[in-house]
Structures are given as structure tokens and as C-alpha cells.
Structure 1
Amino acid sequence: MTSTVADSAPAARRVPRPRADALRNRERLVTAAREMFVEFGAQVPYDEIARRAGVGNATLYRNFPERTDLVREVVLSSMARVTDLAERVMAEEADTFAALRRFTHGAADERIGALCPMLDGAFDKDHPDLTVERERLEEAVQSLVDSAQRAGRLRSDVGVGDLMVAVSQLTRPLPGTACGNFDQFVHRHLQLFLDGLEAPARSELPGTAATLEDLRRDCPSRTTS
């Protein structure tokens, strides 16, 4: 019997897609880790993360064999959420400063300042995945700032770095400190800060507008990028 080319050719290997329940478990782990990192710092016990996520330790180690893997995924997830927020408010708000205001308060809700300490030490800030997500974040936030300045709604002597420093600083309590009303203070002081960003400016700022490159060079732990 003569074999055809199709018969003799090796079958194409199919890469199995992750099951829906496996994807849900991974998402639950990242969410639980983010919450616990904010509350207690990045050294929270692994089994506590698994317990909060409602999965077994084996599931946690299967998804994130090393703590650095989990930390990187949490940072990536947070950066992606902030970027998505920036893009969404730009599309939804006709008032460019209203878009900036919504973004700033939304970014604060992500508690990016509480996650900043994880970027110190041995954390690989130049991992390719982080580089891609960082560039997407920077482009989105820069667009927000540029749009508000072109419309004359944002004072011209501030930069993206100024905005991100404020969000980072105001959302960075000491890990493990219990303050049930912390969020109300964050948003109250962010609103005071935002009032100072609106044009026309009421005073002259010292120094020059801060860029994200300035933050990476001079104080890398102040921003998720």
C-alpha cells in the first residue's frame, strides 16, 4: 500500500491551551499576592498567599516556582491595569483634565506606591516583559499629560514624573501598618495635589519638570516603571 505525503509527514504538535480553571487559579494567585504584598511586604509566606487565593501550595509553586516569578507577575499585572486605566479615561472623558484626575485617583487605588519596595534589590527591572509593559505605560500616561497641556488645562511646568511621584508617595504606607481609613486620606491629598496642577498656575515651581527617565535614574524605587 502506497503511503501519501500526509501519511508519512509527522503530525504537527499542538501546544495545549491552559484550562480555564488553571487560568482562574493563576489570576487568583496574582490578586492574592498583590493584596498581601501591599499589606505585609513581598516576604509574606508563600503558604499564606495560597491560602488567601483558595488554592493549594502545589498550585502556587507550579505557577510560580520562585518568589521572583510571582513578584514580577504582580508588578506586570499592576502596570497593565494602570495602563488600561489611562487608555480608558482618555477615550471616555472629553475634558482632558477630568481624564487626568480620574487616572490619578484610579492609579492610587492600585496602591502602586506600596508595591515600589519590591523593585529594589535583586529584582530584575530590565526583564523583557517588564520593558514592554513599562513602555506601554509610559506612552499612555504621557499622552494624558500631553493632551491636558495642549488643551491648556494642565500647567506647563510639570511632567509625567511629577505626577507619578505624587501617586507613588501618597500610596506608600509602611508595610504591615493597619490604617482602615487610609484610602480616604490618599484621595483627599491627591485632590489637593491635582488642584495645584490645573492651569493657570498660581505660583512658580522650583526646579524643572520631572520625567520618568529622571525617576529611573535618580530614585528607581519611586515608580513602577
Structure 2
Amino acid sequence: MTSTAPAPRLRADAQRNRERIIAGAAALIGERGPEVPMEDIAQRAGVGVGTLYRRFPDRHSLIREVAADMFRRVTEVAAAALDEEPTGWDAVVRLVRHCAEPDLGALSGALRGWLSEHRDRDEELRSLTAIWLERFETAVERAQAEGAMRTDIGGADLLRLISLVTCRMPELPAEANREATARYIEIFIDGLAAQGR
């Protein structure tokens, strides 16, 4: 089981390097998958390979932190949507659009296999996933209770469908993929609305 003891606080420059490494790794994993070379990640992050390995001694520790960071961020977005949007339907729409953002969709898809292999053995990742799903499901339940969203679909169904809508088509250039995803997600949102809404 992975330890959840808090890491020691880093100096400001070390923290910036760590954040750059995670962001660079997330971008490259989304583009090329979890097996992208560590040297390429260091180059994307603008740090030396030695700096990368001081922060993350192996590929597993880096991918794990990229996954944890992804869940922390979507959980924060879910909390904000629930707090700030006037209705459950507005919260669902905000979350669906966020989940369909191309970089997040690509990263989530690229990490799917890795997470299915490692998440159950990692207490923090299990907890982060559970919190994210709970908040997403709360938005769905609110929208359905308002009569705004069809009731024959749950939060887990919705997330699976989003992953299908946001799949990249390798035969299309990046911009065409972005435009297609944006168009399809709006059609998808229309299909979630309750009849007569």
C-alpha cells in the first residue's frame, strides 16, 4: 500500500520545477501515452534529467503523481461547479464541458490502463477517485431532482459516454479533433436534457 504521509515542503524553486515536470508529463502522456521517455518529459518541462529524477525517482512515481494531480484538479472543478452554479443542470453542463476539454480527455484516456492496474493498491488514488465520483454524481442527482436531466443515466454512465465522445481520431489533425469534440459534446449535452425541458 502506498504511503499517504505528507511530503516535506519544497523550496519555491523546487516546487516550481516539480509543477513544471508534472505539467510536462501530463501533456506528453496525453499525446503519446505513459511510456513516453523520461528524457522527453524533462525536455518538455524545461528541466534537466537529473532534476526530474531527483523529484521522481522512477516512471511509476511520476505517472502516479500525474494521475493524482488530475483527480485533484477535476475534484476542485466539481466542488466549484456545485458551489457556484445556480442549478444542478448548470453544474452538470459545466462538468461535462470541463471533462471534454481535449487535453484532459487525452490524459484521462491515456491513463485508463495504468489506473486500472495500479489504483486499487494506492489508498490516495482510491480516495481521490471516490471523492471526484461522489461530487460528479451529486451534480447529476441534483439535475435529475430538478427535472432538468433524464433519469435513465447515472454519473458513471455519463463519464463513460464522455470518454467515448472525446476519443481522438488519429486520422484527423489536432485542430479538427478539437472542433469535432466541441461539436459532439454540445449534441451530447442536448441529449442529456429531460424531455420537455
TM-score range, shorter chain: 0.7 to 0.9
Q: Which residue of 1 aligns with 2:134?
A: 139
Q: Which residue of 2 aligns with 1:180?
A: 175
Report whether the alignment pairs 1:170 with 2:165: yes
Q: Which residue of 1 aligns with 2:155?
A: 160
1:124 to 114, 118, 126: 118
Task: Give the C-alpha shift of residue 116 in structure 1.
Answer: 2.9
Task: Give the C-alpha shift of residue 175 in structure 1.
Answer: 7.3
Q: In the aligned structure 1, how far is the partner of 2:192 from the partner of 2:79?
A: 20
TM norm structure 2: 0.86
Q: Which has the larger Rg?
A: 1
| Percent identical residues | 35
Decide which structure has greater helix share: 2
Report whether the alignment pairs 1:115 with 2:108: yes
Is there any run of 5+ residues in structure 2 with no aligned partner, and where? 1-6
Pick closer, same or farther for the CA change 1:17–1:77 going to 2, 3 Å: closer
Is there any run of 5+ residues in structure 1 with no aligned partner, and where? 1-14, 203-225
Pick closer, same or farther for the CA change 1:117–1:175 going to 2, 3 Å: farther
Q: In the aligned structure 2, how far is the partner of 1:49 from the partner of 1:148?
A: 40
Amino acid at match of 1:167: I
Task: Give the C-alpha shift of residue 180 in structure 1.
Answer: 2.4
Task: Give the C-alpha shift of residue 39 in structure 1.
Answer: 1.0
Q: Would you say the 8 A contact 1:38–1:175 is kept in 2?
A: no
Q: In the aligned structure 1, how far is the partner of 2:161 from the partner of 2:149?
A: 15
Pick closer, same or farther for the CA change 1:184–1:162 going to 2, 3 Å: same
Q: RMSD across aligned C-alpha pairs, in angstroms? A: 2.3
In terms of mean alpha carbon deviation, does 127-136 or 169-178 score higher?
A: 169-178
Report whether the alignment pairs 1:70 with 2:62: yes
Task: Give the C-alpha shift of residue 106 in structure 1.
Answer: 0.8
Amino acid at match of 1:71: I
| Structure 1 ranges of 4+ moved more than 4 A | 174-178
Task: Give the C-alpha shift of residue 117 in structure 1.
Answer: 3.8
Pick closer, same or farther for the CA change 1:177–1:50 going to 2, 3 Å: farther
- Give the paired residue count: 188
Report whether the alignment pairs 1:26 with 2:18: yes
Report whether the alignment pairs 1:44 with 2:36: yes
In terms of mean alpha carbon deviation, does 180-189 or 100-109 score higher?
A: 180-189
Q: Would you say the 8 A contact 2:87–2:142 is kept in 1?
A: no
Amino acid at match of 1:32: G
Task: Give the C-alpha shift of residue 165 in structure 1.
Answer: 0.9
Q: In the aligned structure 1, how far is the partner of 2:32 from the partner of 2:111?
A: 12
